[in-house]
Structure 1
């Protein structure tokens, strides 16, 4: 049986580091970037790419969150607490990003027979386990967490990461957010306040999480190690090189920059429609 790590074996990986762009880095740009990269990589114009990105004081809503009956009330709660609120162009539910949360994307071409969805998740799960060999990391849904899913990553029943996927034009982007440091419970409490204001006691067609902050934690809290975003990026690059193959720094190509503008406009339009 093929190992999940085999998906990461590539002739080369390009690494794009957007982890230190600071508070001015607009999170809308990140989702348009992954779409542009997926289109170029799926079309065979660019090599498989790993991207690291960090956004300050941002809550990213899923499309399903925009169906909440009192969405504007929920958004106001977040904005009053100092968060920028955007809607991403993929599934899932609300997640909180700040300077202690590292986002990683692995963007690969789909193969002729297609990359099975679970295989993409398993590849990212294998990579994170390789990065933290001393920790027993599990993958199953953590009930009471925000943005729950079958590939929530946890240690001792406390979630520190969630994995998602985006597929576009024969490109596959496997994305993960890692709560590196800070308080996982405090982040969860902010999202709980959003849902309490946006849903209230209304019956809804969609199921939204009943958030229990104590089921979420950061890697620093769980491992006892004083981890930083940069130290985890180093682990990520070392592990990807060991499992996947040669790695080189890089940036977006002129072609990717050109198609980025179109994808950015789509994300902006989605946000204007959902939040204005």
Structure 2
């Protein structure tokens, strides 16, 4: 039986679909948008919000990745493979996004009773709920030789298809998951394995970077024998939101959210300039 976390059943969900904006949609905009939405959800000027998003050929680095001894060479490698490179403002390490990876942000209001683990657990429960008719085998535990390993890695039979991060801004919390829907999880892992080989080489580092084994990564289609598109999974997410909430509406950023978005975007641009071009 699928567990439903209390955070997943608000009286009202807001749904924002940015899954088909195309290759010109910057990943910097995504992280700034989640910050702006976290502020409004935390202020209770917006209901609990779900935002889905897709970015073409992008590697999103964590802050520790930007401190690799040979980060400039590693970024040059990714760019030679036609990947954009940014540093995100939430936790974790490098992840690879492309047109076969669907990202979902669930943005909750914080309260004293909700610690950081509750947000992660809610996303795990939501993912299991979305795919409950297909599999009961989604597990949450760290896959240490995956890319961006963490306690809330999602896997089936030991092969990781999703990872979760979380960022808290003021009184709101954005829990973000990437879902490898189509394509080759192994090939995505191969790119990031080479990134770390170039970025670290034989240098000693304080931070322990992952030793990636591409064999432990797979897409949902590979694991479940499906031929889903990203839009198919988008529709599953939308159906789940409708089932879990009494009301679902869809509207873009309002004027106040746009102001916060512009401020957060400026911070993201400045951070990326300092991290990658210093």
Q: Shift of residue 177 of structure 1? A: 0.2
**Aligned runs of 1:142-161 on 2, under 5 Å?**
142-161=143-162
| Partner SS for 1:52 | strand
Q: Shift of residue 244 of structure 1? A: 3.6
| CA deviations over 1:127-154 (Å, ceiling 9, x no partner) | 1111111321000001210000000000
8 Å Cα contact 1:4/1:122 also seen in 2: no
Alignment of 1:107 with 2:107, yes or no, is yes
Alignment of 1:131 with 2:130, yes or no, is yes
Q: Shift of residue 222 of structure 1? A: 0.4
CA distance in 2, matches of 1:18, 1:159: 24
| Partner SS for 2:175 | strand
Alignment of 1:174 with 2:147, yes or no, is no
**Aligned runs of 1:142-221 on 2, under 5 Å?**
142-221=143-222
Q: Shift of residue 241 of structure 1? A: 2.2
- Equivalent residue for 1:60? 60
- Equivalent residue for 1:91? 91
**Aligned runs of 1:3-82 on 2, under 5 Å?**
5-82=5-82
Q: How many residues align?
A: 273
TM-score norm. by structure 1 comes to 0.97
CA distance in 2, matches of 1:20, 1:51: 12
TM-score norm. by structure 2 comes to 0.96
Q: CA RMSD in A?
A: 1.0
CA distance in 1, matches of 2:101, 2:182: 7
Q: Shift of residue 181 of structure 1? A: 0.5
- Equivalent residue for 2:116? 117
CA distance in 1, matches of 2:220, 2:7: 25
- Equivalent residue for 1:225? 226
Q: Shift of residue 4 of structure 1? A: 5.2
8 Å Cα contact 1:55/1:97 also seen in 2: yes
8 Å Cα contact 2:186/2:216 also seen in 1: yes
